[in-house]
Amino acid sequence: MSGLIVRGARLLGGETGDIRIVDGRIDAVGSVDPAAGDHMIDADGLVALPGLVDLHTHLREPGGEASETVLTGTRAAAAGGFTAVFAMANTSPVADTAGVVEQVEALGRQHGYATVRPIGAVTVGLEGRQLAELGAMAASRAQVRVFSDDGHCVADPLIMRRALEYVATIGGVIAQHAQEPRLTEGAQMNEGPLSGELGLAGWPAVAEESIIARDVLLAEHTRSRLHVCHVSTAGSVDVVRWAKKRGIAVTAEVTPHHLLLTDETARDYDARFKVNPPLRRAEDVEALRAAVADGTIDIVATDHAPHPDERKECAWAEAAFGMVGLESALSIVQHTLVDTGMLDWAGVARVLSTTPAAIGGLAGYDAPLAVGAPAHLTLVDPEASRRWSTDELRGRSRNTPYTGITLPGRVIATVHGGVPTVLDGALVDADTVATTAGGR
């Protein structure tokens, strides 16, 4: 049967080799002789990564289709090299039942640009009062294993304890948005001298750090798994590092924007830079980069948060929190971690593919690019660069914070389950992807 051959890519071991894909799986790696009918991708000078996995994406559907849909969000994901995304629960209706998570998962299968794994809400309506249908969501076709009220902190310690106890019985994990609500009422940006100068209510670092400290102790007590979303402060890194040394089952993520941008961006009151948790000090950025390099922070996750123009092109205090980030994530990781010598490309594969897949219980990424493995593949040109603009975006919203910044690297091809979704740097036609993926 005809296959797809990636010719002459840079493999993660440092050698150059070919990859042959047949029937959605890796058929051969090394020096590959083409067979009749094989299609060819010239990968000379390109780095071959396992398909990227984002553990923290907001696809907005159902209910928020003005900002994003499963189709537009997964097209943005494919353009950024992602072959799987975990969709957060803050939709309308909230993804707190088996019916809603199955709807989201089915839309991902229908469109074919990326595997979509729904994240189930921890509490009904994200209200923090009553546990949602965790067992029903886990047993559904969506097979939910990650639960989060992201956008809201599970602030009640008893509810958090019960959630941790429950997911321990189903092999799941609670992904916590660490924000003590009473300490952040009305908060608009990082608390510090600059927030006082600008007259914006401050979001103190301790509001994040205190919740993480509480929750790692609860995870230890319940012998359950905790994942900390979008870590943003040096103090949070210290707490996570302490917990790991103690043997607590905690993992943590950082966003690309927290690896690059600081609270100084707020000086012009440009709401593109308004995000939760807020952009922090330069010292925090350095601590976060070091924590990714030494493994304290396990993964990079985008927290892709699309909003229509009217929610961001307004006064800072009225603007929505959030940034889009799927298309730019790999470039930011290259810029902040690879080009600085803190990570090699094997490290990129670890923080953007294999580890997020493992945390989320996503099969097929434990032995990436090995013979017999599912063919999820990203080809990136590390020597390319471009001045970032909204023209680079493939989703429905335009709220990127990187406009005007020159970023390195470019995704040349993305292959999802053997089906090319990006070729020569351009998205493959939606009908072609859906038809081919549906025939897998």
Report pLDDT digits (tens) over 71-98.
Answer: 999 999 999 999 999 999 999 999 999 9
- 322 annotated ligand binder: yes
Predicted local confidence at residue 438, as pLDDT:
62
Predicted local confidence at residue 34, as pLDDT:
87
- Contact between 50 and 368 (Cβ < 8 Å): yes
- Contact between 54 and 18 (Cβ < 8 Å): no
Q: Is 318 exposed, middle or buried (0-12, 13-18, 19+ CB in 10 A)?
A: exposed
- 177 annotated ligand binder: yes
Per residue in 258-279, pLDDT (tens digit) is 999 999 999 999 999 999 999 9
Predicted local confidence at residue 64, as pLDDT:
98
- 386 annotated ligand binder: no
Per residue in 108-139, pLDDT (tens digit) is 999 999 999 999 999 999 999 999 999 999 99
363-375 mean pLDDT: 95
And the tokens for 80? 């950024």
Averaged pLDDT of the chain: 97
**Burial call 35-49: b when 16+ CB within 10 Å, e when fewer:** eeebeebebeebbbb
Predicted local confidence at residue 434, as pLDDT:
87
338-347 mean pLDDT: 98
Predicted local confidence at residue 439, as pLDDT:
46
Predicted confidence band of residue 311 (pLDDT cuts 50, 70, 90): very high
Rounded to whole angstroms, the Cα distance separating 29 from 349 reads 17
Catalytic residue list: 303
Predicted local confidence at residue 164, as pLDDT:
98
pLDDT greater than 80 at residue 198: yes
- Entry pTM: 0.97
Q: H or E segment at 256?
A: helix 256-260
35-50 mean pLDDT: 94
The CATH number of the structural domain formed by 51-360 is 3.20.20.140
Predicted local confidence at residue 309, as pLDDT:
96
Which residues, other chains included, contact 426 with Cβ-Cβ below 8 Å and sequence gap of 6+? Answer: none
- 141 annotated ligand binder: no
Domain ranges of the chain: 51-360
- 344 annotated ligand binder: no
302-314 mean pLDDT: 97
- 339 annotated ligand binder: no
Nearest to 328 by CA among 354, 349, 348, 302: 302
- 230 annotated ligand binder: yes
- 56 annotated ligand binder: yes
32-36 mean pLDDT: 86
